[in-house]
């Protein structure tokens, strides 16, 4: 028993001695050092944080560089919160961290080259000790000054992470990593805002403001972040009152294992450990509309819909530039009191004002702005004040307005100085409704526009609404006068399948031209306006050369209504001129008819000679599509197909009459577009099945062999990302292919359209890319036939109702043998 106790005591003593030799605990003294050996790392007293060297491999090299950093001890994956030598990593494992002879913390290598230093006042190193605190703060203490006085601390020199116990100050900044594998300073920096941006924080991108964080945020986690930045975790309940509305009441919060990260993509994240992983409790910016000056000067956006930036009423896009990011300019300027007015907007997010004064009333504030014209751009009058804001009631903006967002929960009521003639209502146009200009013939009131094109304007909110025939009202998100179109934000109850019925509604001058169910976006067009409405003769005074008759301003004699420019224009010149012109036209017509008769006779003679040849050619074409195993192999160019692959064409042959019925004799209203080989129509078979009909024109560059190649090839290939061939038809010179109908058309209709491209967010784009890749992998590797498409482009990528991509147009495709890895061509084809 005595021997066992001795052995146990000896073992325990050896174990303790081992740990003392292998680990320095949480303190490093003069003469001690830390190398890349993890057993020498410092670990805080409660084992929350760890200090040591860690390796990283660059994106372009497998060679590891070593950094000295602090991370959470024992958490996977490793979470680094501070890096010392982020600018200059140690290129190999020879790095050493120690207290230098001058009392500075340094990182050196065997070559004595110095990679980092704390750069403080020199002192004897024997008096200094470095310690990793439980808070994650690495501190350098001078024994002569006392343990509570820190000569240097990492909390005053952060990298990309803010930890509990730190306090945000004017000299403190978080700078992102360059990327996920490179701790070098990146493009984004989080810091306190400049003095002219009171009481807030900003994210800068390459020294330019990228996003600002508003303290009066109604989101609870946002307020937690503000308390975190101010080191106010123990503060009691507090509340803000803004515009007579209580926004948020904060409560004590447990910040254990919490951190604020400025990541390399420009997103500020508040993260908290939930025992298994880091949970993102809050982040910003929430979307692109939060980005500073996203729409440019006097441009505005709305995060509640998918439509991008637009100019305020009274403003136009800056010439020779896209609206987004470039902004707008005034249509005209004036400082005469009788010539100016104010565009009154509600719930607008705008940067802080340039000047603040106290006025008793809104009228005084307005007069002050007019007196400062042209410097004054806008004003905002606060009818009540609140404890943590200034007592001034009149806010003035003298610089161009930027970073404007409408329908903002904590926005201001903003009045923008404009010239009356730029926004005033007339007999032709209504006054703006909020940020929306109302072009003729659209009407929001009984005295402007055409009541047949009625919209509703809610002046208190600045929202425009559109009433559907069934009586349901939807919010308008954009109006485009040039294209006579507007967009509404529909809800889940709206069905895109009903749009054809709506287009046939009597006395309804609007047509649905596009509908995207997933985004709730419906695009309408309005029909050209008829003669303007009137109730009395004076109503037509604003419409020259017209007279009020039967509730409409009908054009006078020798004038006719031109709905493209919406005015009465003069008719053609005198009757004598018309008679002379008619005689000339008749002469040309008669001569043309004579020539046409000769040509017709010649053609009829030749057609009789070739009639039997055409019949024979048509028969041969039909037979070639159903011929034997040897013929199919010859067309495809393979000699090793299995019996199951050569059972003939696996799609039906339709009659030409059935296709004419499905497309209403190929009328233009059924046309979807035109490709290199001819027009494409939409057809509907009995039973409601929609199809896409590809009609090869007589001048098409696609010949009979390509046509047969596409019929046979698509019949043999079956994949979710390849378009399905429903059938084909051959009638004389007609060669027709029938495909499954793709309601969202081709990919290029989204990518190259300024409005629709915003509908393709990154998740949708990623799924489209993956789908195309799956289709190409199937063609090249996984299908029964190894196929090279040879004509892959955005117009040949079709999108179904769920935005799934499908590869189409196999007329130029080429099949290679099972073991071949390349193929050649004898002509220039494809893309």
| Residues constituting the chain | 831
Which residues in 18-110 belong to E strands, given as ranges?
27-29, 33-34, 42-43, 49-57, 64-72, 80-83, 96-99, 105-108
Structure tokens at 350: 């705008």
- Residue pair 649/769 in contact (Cβ under 8 Å)? The answer is no
Torsion angles phi and psi, residue 555, rounded to 5: -70, 145
Which distant-in-sequence residues (6+ apart) come within 8 Å of 318 by Cβ? 296, 326, 327, 328, 329
Nearest to 277 by CA among 79, 145, 115, 15: 79
Count of C-beta atoms within a 10 Å radius of residue 818: 9
- Residue pair 510/525 in contact (Cβ under 8 Å)? The answer is yes
Which distant-in-sequence residues (6+ apart) come within 8 Å of 790 by Cβ? 812, 813, 814, 825, 829, 830, 831
Looking only at the bridges linking them, the beta strands covering 315-317 and 340-348 are unpaired
Q: Is 657 exposed, middle or buried (0-12, 13-18, 19+ CB in 10 A)?
A: exposed
Which distant-in-sequence residues (6+ apart) come within 8 Å of 580 by Cβ? none
Cα separation of 636 and 716, whole Å? 11
Please report how the helices 629-636 and 704-716 are oriented relative to each other, as an axis angle in degrees rounded to 10. Answer: 110
Give the single-character DSSP code of 598: H
- Residue pair 187/266 in contact (Cβ under 8 Å)? The answer is yes
In 197-221, which positions are buried (b, 16+ CB within 10 angstroms) versus exposed (e)? eeeebbbbbeeebbbbbbbbbeeee
Which distant-in-sequence residues (6+ apart) come within 8 Å of 135 by Cβ? 49, 155, 163, 164, 165
Looking only at the bridges linking them, the beta strands covering 27-29 and 355-357 are unpaired
791 is catalytic: yes
- Residue pair 715/810 in contact (Cβ under 8 Å)? The answer is no
Catalytic annotation, pick one of 514, 791, 800, 809? 791
Cα separation of 689 and 185, whole Å? 59
Q: Nearest 5°: CA angle at 109, between 107 and 111?
A: 140
Structure tokens at 716: 């043999």
Run of H or E including 691: strand 690-696
Q: Nearest 5°: CA angle at 582, between 576 and 584?
A: 110
- Residue ranges of the alpha helices (H) in 385-437? 420-423
Torsion angles phi and psi, residue 814, rounded to 5: -130, 135
* Catalytic residue IDs: 791
């Amino acid at each position: 028993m005595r021997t066992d106790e001795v052995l146990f005591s000896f073992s325990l003593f050896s174990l303790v001695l081992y740990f003392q030799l292998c680990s320095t605990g949480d303190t490093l003294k003069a003469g001690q050092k830390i190398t890349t050996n993890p057993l020498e790392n410092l670990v805080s007293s409660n084992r929350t944080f760890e200090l040591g060297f860690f390796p990283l491999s660059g994106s372009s090299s497998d060679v590891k560089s070593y950094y000295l950093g602090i991370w959470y001890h024992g958490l996977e994956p490793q979470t680094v919160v501070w890096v010392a030598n982020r600018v200059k990593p140690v290129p190999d494992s020879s790095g050493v961290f120690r207290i230098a002879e001058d009392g500075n913390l340094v990182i050196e290598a065997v070559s004595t080259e110095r990679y980092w230093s704390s750069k403080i006042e020199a002192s004897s190193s024997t008096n200094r000790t470095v310690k990793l605190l439980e808070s994650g703060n690495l501190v350098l203490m001078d024994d002569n000054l006392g343990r509570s006085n820190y000569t240097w601390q990492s909390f005053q020199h952060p990298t990309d992470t803010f930890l509990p116990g730190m306090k945000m100050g004017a000299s403190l900044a978080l700078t992102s990593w360059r990327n996920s594998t490179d701790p070098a300073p990146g493009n984004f920096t989080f810091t306190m805002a400049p003095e002219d941006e009171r009481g807030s924080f900003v994210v800068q991108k390459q020294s330019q403001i990228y996003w600002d964080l508003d303290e009066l945020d109604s989101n609870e986690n946002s307020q937690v972040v503000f308390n975190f930045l101010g080191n106010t975790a123990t503060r009691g309940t507090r509340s803000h009152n803004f515009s007579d509305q209580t926004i948020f009441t904060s409560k004590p919060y447990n910040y254990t294992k919490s951190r604020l990260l400025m990541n390399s993509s420009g997103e500020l994240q508040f993260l908290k450990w939930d025992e298994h992983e880091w949970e993102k409790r809050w982040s910003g910016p929430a979307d692109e509309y939060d980005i500073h000056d996203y729409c440019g000067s006097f441009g505005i956006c709305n995060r509640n819909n998918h439509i991008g930036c637009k100019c305020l009423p009274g403003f136009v896009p800056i010439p020779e530039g896209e609206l987004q990011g470039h902004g707008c300019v005034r249509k005209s300027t004036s400082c005469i009191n009788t010539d100016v007015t104010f565009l009154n907007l509600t719930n607008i997010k705008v940067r802080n004002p340039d000047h603040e004064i106290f006025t008793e009333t809104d009228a005084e504030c307005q007069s002050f702005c007019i007196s400062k014209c042209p410097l004054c751009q806008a004003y905002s009058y606060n009818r009540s004040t609140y404890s943590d804001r200034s007592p001034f009631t009149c806010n003035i903006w003298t610089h161009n307005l930027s970073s404007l967002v409408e329908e903002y929960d904590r926005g201001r009521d903003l009045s923008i100085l404009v010239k009356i003639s730029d926004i005033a209502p007339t007999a032709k146009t209504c006054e703006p409704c909020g940020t929306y200009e109302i072009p003729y013939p659209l009407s929001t009131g009984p005295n402007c526009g055409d009541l047949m094109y009625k919209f509703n304007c809610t002046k208190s909110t600045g929202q425009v609404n559109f009433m559907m025939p069934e009586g349901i009202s939807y919010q308008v998100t954009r109006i485009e006068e040039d294209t006579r179109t507007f967009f509404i934000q529909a809800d889940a109850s709206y069905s895109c399948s009903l749009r054809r019925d709506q287009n046939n509604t009597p006395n309804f001058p609007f047509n649905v031209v596009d509908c995207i169910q997933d985004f709730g976006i419906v695009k309408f067009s309005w029909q050209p306006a008829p003669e303007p409405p009137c109730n009395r003769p004076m109503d037509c005074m604003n419409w020259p050369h017209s007279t009020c008759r039967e509730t409409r301003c009908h054009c006078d004699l020798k004038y006719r209504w031109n709905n493209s420019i919406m005015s009465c224009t003069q008719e053609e010149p005198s009757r004598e001129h018309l008679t002379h012109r008619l005689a000339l036209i008749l002469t040309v017509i008669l001569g043309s008819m004579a020539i046409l008769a000769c040509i017709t006779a010649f053609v009829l003679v030749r057609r009789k000679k070739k009639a039997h040849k055409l019949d024979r050619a048509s028969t041969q074409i039909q037979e070639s599509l159903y011929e034997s195993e040897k013929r199919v192999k010859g067309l495809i160019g393979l000699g090793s197909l299995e019996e199951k692959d050569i059972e003939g064409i696996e799609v039906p042959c339709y009659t030409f009459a059935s296709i004419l019925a499905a497309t209403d004799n190929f009328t233009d209203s059924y046309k979807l577009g035109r490709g290199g080989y001819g027009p494409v129509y939409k057809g509907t078979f009995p039973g409601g099945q929609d199809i896409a009909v590809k009609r090869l024109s007589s001048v098409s560059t696609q010949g009979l062999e390509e046509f047969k190649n596409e019929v046979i090839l698509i019949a043999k290939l079956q994949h979710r990302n390849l378009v399905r061939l429903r059938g084909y038809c051959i009638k004389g010179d007609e060669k027709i292919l029938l495909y499954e109908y793709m309601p969202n058309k081709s990919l290029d209709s989204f990518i190259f359209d300024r409005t629709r491209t915003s509908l393709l967010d990154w998740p949708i784009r990623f799924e489209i890319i993956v789908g195309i890749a799956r289709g190409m992998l199937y063609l090249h590797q996984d299908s029964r036939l190894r196929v090279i498409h040879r004509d892959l482009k955005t117009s040949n990528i079709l999108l179904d109702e769920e935005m799934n991509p499908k590869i189409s147009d196999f007329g130029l495709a080429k099949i290679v043998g099972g073991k071949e890895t390349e193929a050649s061509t004898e002509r220039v084809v494809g893309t």
